[in-house]
Amino acid sequence: MATRRPVKKTRPQLVGVIASAADLRFASRMNEPPDLFELRLDCLVDVLDQVEKRLSILSGRRGEPAPIIITARDPREGGIGNLSLRKRRDLLERFLDHAKYIDVELRSARAFKSLLARARKQNVRRILSFHNFESTPSTRSLRAKASLAKTHGADVFKVACRFDSPAQLARLVDFVLEKKAGLPLSAMGIGKLGAASRLLLARCGSALTYGSLQRSLVEGQLPIDLLRSALVH
């Protein structure tokens, strides 16, 4: 009787979120950086010159320049500073040449169509994201959003929802485990079960797992070192 080969598990990529000048300084001194850094440009509008200067000294896990995700979050989905669509586009365009990924909300995909097309030409991968800080949509709704993200050319669909009950968390776990989205998923939670959800969803197949470098931006976001010790070692 043939023996089955063990299924090789791939760990999620760890993303350290840079949302302040202090985060930027901390990131540039890390001895063990994450796989990627995310620049929350909506949080960094007052220190953009510092960001540009320090990007060149941010190192990745093997000493090469650190891979970067750029995003300028929509105010309706947790963005800071009530930035207009035009301002957000300007920020993303300014840093596009530094990016490995660009993250745009699914609701903004049509408005940012030309920017996403430019990103594709520059081999910058596209994350289309959906954030609901009030509840967790139905599995049917999540499938529809993932399908729409794929239609808009997403390389990754990212979803962040609020979990205050095991039933809400189970809904997103089922969505990730069913693997019917047709593209990689990055899934996470906020709320009472937010922290637990990030570890669980990472183990269920979430492609990207985000952690704070110093101060968490949202309830449930875990420190990057804790994520590393729980998921990598």
Give residue-wise pLDDT tens across range 84-122: 999 999 999 999 999 999 999 999 999 999 999 999 999
Query: Does 122 reside within a domain?
Result: yes
Question: Exposed, middle or buried by CB within 10 Å (0-12, 13-18, 19+), for 56?
Answer: exposed
Q: What is the CATH number of the domain that holds 55?
A: 3.20.20.70
| DSSP tag of 221 | P
Inside any domain, residue 8: no
Going by pLDDT thresholds of 50, 70 and 90, the confidence category of residue 125 is very high
Place of tokens 């990030």: 198
Binning the chain into helix, strand and coil, the percentages to the nearest 5 are 40, 20, 40
What is the Cα–Cα distance from 198 to 159, expressed in whole angstroms?
12
For residues 104 and 102, what is the distance between their CA atoms, to the nearest angstrom? 7
Whether 46 is in a domain gets the answer yes
Provide DSSP, 55-110.
HTT-B-TTSSBPPEEEE---GGGT-SS---HHHHHHHHHHHGGG-SEEEEEGGGTT
Of 51, 47, 45, residue with least CA distance to 84: 45
Write down the pTM of the prediction. Answer: 0.91
The angle subtended at Cα 63 by Cα 224 and Cα 118, nearest 5°, is: 80
Give residue 56's pLDDT. Answer: 80
Q: How many domains does the chain have?
A: 1
Kindly state whether residue 47 falls inside one of the protein's structural domains.
Answer: yes
Cα–Cα distance, 67 to 213 (Å, whole number): 16
Q: Is residue 148 part of a domain?
A: yes
Residue 52 belongs to a domain: yes
From the centroid of its chain, how far is CA 233?
22
Look at residue 6 in the predicted model and tell me its pLDDT.
Answer: 39
pLDDT (tens digit per residue) in 204-215: 999 999 999 987
Confidence at residue 3, expressed as pLDDT on a 0 to 100 scale: 40
Mean pLDDT on 67-76: 96
Residue 87, CA distances (Å) to 18, 58, 112 in order: 19, 25, 12
| 206 occurs within a structural domain | yes
Instruction: Please report whether residue 3 resides in a domain.
Output: no
Domain of residue 104: give its range: 13-231
